[in-house]
Amino acid sequence: MQPLKIAVLVSGRGSNLQTLIDNIEKTEINGKIEIVVSNKKDAYALERAKNHGIEGVYIGKGNYPENDKRNDKLIEVLKAKKIDLIVLAGYMSILDRKIIELFRNRIINIHPSLIPSFCGKGFYGSKVHKAVLDYGVKLSGATVHFVDEGTDTGPVILQKAVEVDFDDTVDTLAAKVLKIEHELLALAVKLFCEDRLEVVGRKVKIKSSSDIS
């Protein structure tokens, strides 16, 4: 099977992008990152792409102030690269409906909590961990899911929990969750690239490798 063509959309540090790059370089994932798109001009993720010879592009409010033009540019890039899979790896912007329709069940997002808790509008990055600590829950975690028209509402692919300790701070909790984010995102992308994810209503079936022809 040909490696799938992947676009990774980012906004910042890019540690999840790095995990994908590393797993692809180790041939754990049968995919190729064709492009990294950032909506922030100075995102460190763009540096990471460059360091690995991957094309990076900035498409944000700075160079495309009008929403329609910005979305059209993103679609143009994704089409030009014949992208099979879009990965949102810390992408802090809501994707336009047109893109979701064009890439139905072919967009994966990583979220730093156990969805449906601590997700949706306003829950991103460290805000998620702060809300978790403020509430006092004993478990948090990470979720990888397909993207639909809602915010963090699409079918769940993988989840894993971490314990929240009494003395945890936003930083210590974020670090624990990030570790499992990397694990889950790499696994989800690997499974997608092996055609082992099947969306059945709201559920995602993970097919065993022997089920694949």
Is there binding between residue 181 and ligand GAR (CB under 6 A)? yes
**Nearer Cβ to ligand GAR (95/197):** 95
Q: Closest CB to ligand GAR among 90 and 154?
A: 90
Q: Pattern of binders to ligand GAR over 139-178, x per CB under 6 A?
A: ---------------------------------------x
**One residue of 4, 8, 12, 103 binding ligand GAR per CB under 6 A:** 12
Contact residue for ligand GAR among 3, 60, 120, 125 (CB under 6 A):
125
Provide, for the chain, the percentages of residues in helix, strand and coil under a 3-state DSSP scheme, each rounded to the nearest 5: 35, 25, 40
Closest distance to ligand GAR from the beta carbon of 205 (Å): 24
What span, in angstroms and rounded, lies between the C-alpha atoms of 182 and 174? 12
Cβ proximity of 189 and 200 under 8 Å: no
Q: How far apart are CA 38 and CA 47, in angstroms?
A: 11
DSSP 8-class letter at 165 = P
Establish whether 182 is a catalytic residue: no
Nearest to 91 by CA among 55, 47, 59, 139: 59
Q: Is 23 in the site for ligand GAR (CB under 6 A)?
A: no
Of 77 and 170, which has the nearer Cβ to ligand GAR?
170
Choosing from 48, 111, 145, 176, the residue that interacts with ligand GAR (CB under 6 A) is: 111
Q: Which residues contact 66 (CB under 8 A, 6 or more apart)?
A: none
- Nearer to ligand GAR (CB atom), residue 74 or residue 142: 142
* β partners of residue 8: 36, 87
Catalytic residue positions? Answer: 111
